[in-house]
Every structure is written in structure tokens, then in C-alpha cells.
Amino acid sequence: MQPELCARSIGQLRVDGLLFKDHNGDGRLDPYEDWRLTPQERAVDLLGRMTLQEKVGAMLHANPPTTQAAAIPGAGSAWDFASMRELVLQRHVGAFLNRLQAPPAELARQANTLQALAEEGRLGIPVILSSDPRSHFSHSQGVSVAAGGFTQWPDAPGFGAAGNAELVRAFADGVREEYRAVGVRMALSPMADLALQPRWHRCNGCFGSSPEDVRSLVQAYVAGMQGGMDGLGPQSVVSVVKHWVGYGATSPEGFDAHNHYGRLLDLRSDGIENHIRAFAGAFEVGVGGVMPSYGMPPPGLRVPDVAGDIEQVGMSFNRQMVTDVLRGRFGFDGVVISDWHVTDDCTRACIEGAQDGLRPGPADIAMPWGVEHLDRPGRFAKAVQAGVDQFGGADDPRWIVSAVRDGLLAQSLIDQAVRRILVQKFSLGLFENPYVDEDAAARVVGRPGLKAMALDAQRSSLVVAKNAGCVPLARGKKLFLEGIDAQAAWAAGFTVAERPGDADLAIVGLRTPHELLHPRHFFGSRYREGRTGWLAGDADLERVRVIAAQVPTVASVYMDRPADLGALEPLVAGIVLHFGVQEQALFDLLSGRHTPTGRLPFDLPWLQSKSPPTGLALRRGEGLSL
């Protein structure tokens, strides 16, 4: 069936009454231009036409340069197309991470401009645009993007709390619709990592702590994002499941492997299969991509059917885990994309933190754990030999070219990696039409139907942890609000008091506490680390104490990490836990219009220190009804 063809500068050919794009402008239909052939056949033909430099460029997944300085590479509102021209046409970079914050129509316009630039290349190879998650309430530099105009769904633990795989599939399908509208064809998600340490910053990206539950929800996510259970097709957004494997097995302090001080994973030989099992659902539905973890395993780690101890290097450099387990045991033949900046040099500031008085910046970002002693060509070579196909945050082809020319890296491994990358682009239909409708983007992104679905998901994710008879509330009740939008209360049929003593009930919005433990490190200064409970004297806790002394109080706690409720619980009459929520959904629960069904996706940390009072929901799988 004739597909729609769209181009800005590439001509067309008519063969057998059908139309084809003449990507290389030679006036004849070459196999890679023939959409009647399989993606595998087309990839083999195109691979044979590429120079080493063009092949290496396909292996780079760059941060696009922007017109304004940003705290994280590639962030901003507009790309610098003068610099992009060099990356696409001279360095042949084949993929870019879209971290832009701009209206949907503008995102679509810039995506189209980039694809038009790629058309000017010798072989007319389209680029692929990826995105970190941008459809949630939490966002952190380097791992996610603020939602902006995109529909806001609960954070991943909220879907774990809802416990509904079909809901996750519908969520991912909605995200796919929005991503495609702005030209994003690869989602750097979901996380199949297990949220085991409550102090870990990235618990907010995990579905929970149960390997089986995570496995099921990850499978549903991949099926929704890729548009089916059978891998990639023209309607797909490639799902890149991450972080292979054991990223959630942090140190007891919860320190993240983005940082030198958190690089060593707390994996055990008798527990690593739990982390592997959480990924299995993604492989069963043909996930297109896998991203290895930054973290490096501890000494003496063993994995079934793998000879010897697992090498102590970051997972992108670990042949045992990528080739033997991922590709061998699971037969994965998709694209392995390294996490960002694994081949960069870790400077003194990267290891020890910035000097006193200086704020750590992008120059301090590097995660070459376990291979710091290698030079850049050596790191690239070791990663490709391990099974990596594409390098996140890399835009300079000379290191891989040097590794090949110096005999560190066989060109056959380059060909193997690029074949996988090309098969993916052909499968997505990018060679026929990489463009999007700029006007339609504004209608699709954040459309009312998706927002209604997201609001329902937020309701389903709410977990009642305590209720001493204070809810549901009758309409007309007078509420005192702290950290809660008064307009949402009025809209729900309540009145709002100016002082606690004048109210029937107080509702206080809180967020899991944190500490600033590593202000001199780039990610340590930006991520939420340290304790997750309130201490006597904390401003938030003392504010609750004052309010609760005057009126029964319900705490609405945003669980961006699993909170320790030990000091809060005795002060309040009710606790509602959420994972990113619009206050309309909260008031639907408090008023009884929504019956709470959410169950905790992980244990809360108070269990580690004392027994909770009877009737307080603190364990995974628990939640109260009204």
C-alpha cells in the first residue's frame, strides 16, 4: 500500500506506478529507498553505502545546542540551527535528545526544521528525536522535563499505587500521541528499576518495589508507547526501558549513581534476579531500546549462567550484563543506548565537587565509572564491545573513528550497531515521512480527552494512609487550607476560612522532606537526598502542629520519595498520600465523590524503626477505604 511521502528537498521517483523518495538524488530506486522491502533489507543496503564517519555519526545521540545558556545541556526554548547544521551534515549525528520547553506548535516546527536539515545530507537519512519523561508532576535536571503544555499524569509510583496495567497502557498510549504530534519518536522511558531505598531521589520514576508488579506495568507501558504487543511499527514511539540492571540497588544512603559518591551498586548475587525479572515484560512485547545503568556492581557479584564474577565497571561497559544476559538470555536485538556522558572524563570537580564558592556546572558532568583510567577512544571501544550501539550525550565522532583506525575496535561491531539503529528508523517509517503537522500539534498536546483520563488516573493513585473519621466531608464544610489552592476547594463546594480556629477541618499540603548533602556536586546539589521524615523543629512539622492544635487536620503528602510519617502521624486526623495530583482529584476523594482504591507501591520507611499504630497503612499493597 502506497505510504504517504513527505519531503522538503528530496525528489520523488515513480516505479511500477508507485512513488518513492530519491534520498540520495541519483535518479534511480535504490533498495534502501524501496518501502516495499523489509526494514532489515533496507538497512543492509544503506549500511553498505555509508562511510565510516557516517556510520559513527549514527551512533551518536547528542544534546542539541540551544540559543541560550542552560544549566543542563540541550535545555532551553530553541535550538541553535547554525550549530546543528555542523552536527547533522558534517558530523552526521543521527539522534538528538529534545529537552526544549516551548509551545507544542513550536516544538513541532523545530522538529520539522531539523528533519529538513537532515534531508540535505548525502544519503538523506532522517534523524530521530527522543525525550526524557515530560508528562508527570516531578521533574529534575538531566532526568526529566517539566510538563509544560503536555498532559500531566501521576508520577510512576502513582501507577504502581493504582495497580492497573490497562491504565498504564492507556497512559503510555496518550503520551505516544502527544510525542508523535511534536516529532518525538523515542521515549527514554520507562524505568524498570525497583524502588528499594526510600532515600533514593529516583523513587519517583519507579513503579514500585515488587519485581512482578513492575514487570507487568513496564510491559503495559511499552505496549502503549509502541502501539502494540509486537514491537515497532510506523505508529510507534520507541520505548527505551531503563536502567539495565540494578540501578535501584543504591547504597543504604540512597545515593544516586549519577554521582561519583553513588557509583557502587549494592547488588547481591542472591537478589540480582529480582532486578532482572522486572525487565522481562518489556522483552516479551518487543521493546525497541534498552539503556544500561551508570552504576557498577560490587566485587564478587555472580549471575546465573554467566562465567565468573561480574566485572566492576559501569553497565554500559559490562559485556557480561549487556551481551551475555541482555542479548544472550533474552535475545534482545534492539538498540542499546548508553546513558548520558559515560565516555567523558570525570574531573576533580566531578569526583570531589566544585571548589568553595563555585556552583557545579555542566562541565562537571561525567559518569565513566570503572573505566576512568581509559582514554576516550578506549572507553568507546569497551562500550561497543560490551554491546552498546549508541552513545547518549555524545556528539564528536572522532573518538570512535580513532578507536577503529587504531585497531581498538573492529569495524564489524560498528556495522552491527548501525544496522540495529537503521532498522529502527526504517520500522518507524521515518524515511517516508519524518514530518509532523505543526498546527495539529497544538490541538493534540494537552487535549481535553487526555486531561480527563489523566485526572482519573490521579484519582486512582491516591492512597489513604490514615483516617480518624474526618473524611468524607459534607459539602459546605468550612476548610482552612495551607499549601492547597483555595479555588479548588470553592469549586468542590466547600468554603474557605482565613484562620484555623474558624474551620471545621484543615488540609495541609506537604512534600517528602530532604537534605542538601552534596551541594558541591552537580546532581547532588539538584537531587533530593537524605532523610525522608520530619524532625522536631522543622518548619513544616511545626506549622502542622500549630494548625492541628486548633482544628482536626488532614495532611496531603506528595510522595516524591517514600516519606517517613513517624513524626507527622500523631499530629493529624488523616493522611492522604499522592504521587502528583491536581487538587480537583484530591477534593473528589475528600468529599467522597471518589472512593479510594490506591495501595502503596512500596513500604514506607517508618517500618524500619518502629511499629505503626493499628489502622495506619504503611506497607506495600496497603491503603484504607473511607
Residue corresponding to grid cell 517516508: 432
CA distance 393 to 133: 16
* Same domain as 394, residue 472: no
* Same domain as 466, residue 421: no
> Facing residues of 556 across strands?
509, 576
> In the 8-state DSSP scheme, what is residue 612?
P
Residue 119 lies in a domain: yes
* Same domain as 393, residue 489: no
Model pLDDT, residue 359: 84
* Same domain as 309, residue 245: yes
Residue 623 lies in a domain: no
Residue 588 is among the residues annotated as catalytic for this protein: no
Residue corresponding to grid cell 562465567: 307
* Same domain as 511, residue 415: no
CA distance 309 to 269: 10
Residue 625 lies in a domain: no
Q: SS3 of 50, please? A: coil
- Domain at 484, CATH number: 3.40.50.1700
Torsion of CA 515, 520, 525, 530, to 10 degrees: -30
Model pLDDT, residue 615: 61
**Per-position b or e across 343-379, b if 16+ CB within 10 A of its CB:** bbebeebbeebbeeeeebebebbbbbbbbbebebbbb
Domain limits at 485?
Answer: 462-608
* Same domain as 471, residue 438: no
CA distance 521 to 353: 5
Output the CA–CA distances (angstroms, integers) from residue 408 to 397, 401, 403, in the order listed. Answer: 15, 10, 5
Q: What is the DSSP string of 490-506?
A: HHTT-EE-SSGGG-SEE
Residue 419 lies in a domain: yes
Model pLDDT, residue 356: 83
Residue 140 lies in a domain: yes
pLDDT tens for 362-372 read: 888 999 999 99
Mean pLDDT in consecutive groups of 10 residues from the start of the chain, 626 residues: 96 97 98 98 98 98 92 89 97 97 97 98 98 94 90 98 98 98 98 97 97 98 97 98 97 96 95 97 98 97 96 98 98 98 96 88 93 98 98 98 98 98 98 98 98 98 94 93 96 96 98 96 94 95 98 97 94 97 96 95 76 70 85
Model pLDDT, residue 608: 53
- Domain at 78, CATH number: 3.20.20.300
* Same domain as 220, residue 319: yes
In this prediction the pTM is 0.97
What's the number of domains the chain is made of?
A: 2
Nearest to 552 by CA among 584, 535, 533, 575: 575
* Same domain as 273, residue 417: yes
Q: Which class for 122: exposed (0-12), middle (13-18), buried (19 or more C-beta within 10 A)?
A: middle
pLDDT tens for 353-409 read: 998 888 888 888 999 999 999 999 999 999 999 999 999 999 999 999 999 999 999
* Same domain as 329, residue 192: yes
Residue 1 lies in a domain: no
Instruction: Supply angle C-alpha 135, 139, 145, rounded to 5.
Output: 60
Residue 626 lies in a domain: no
Model pLDDT, residue 70: 79
Grid coordinates of 271: 537478589
CA distance 487 to 507: 14
Grid coordinates of 539: 518548619
* Same domain as 57, residue 206: yes
Grid coordinates of 77: 526554548
CA distance 447 to 251: 42
* Same domain as 419, residue 518: no
CA distance 95 to 434: 13
Grid coordinates of 481: 487550607
- Of 416, 444, 472, which closes a domain? 444
* Same domain as 418, residue 483: no
Grid coordinates of 119: 534531508
From 173, 324, 339, 588, active-site residue:
339
Residue 142 lies in a domain: yes
CA distance 125 to 117: 10
Nearest to 427 by CA among 231, 240, 282: 231
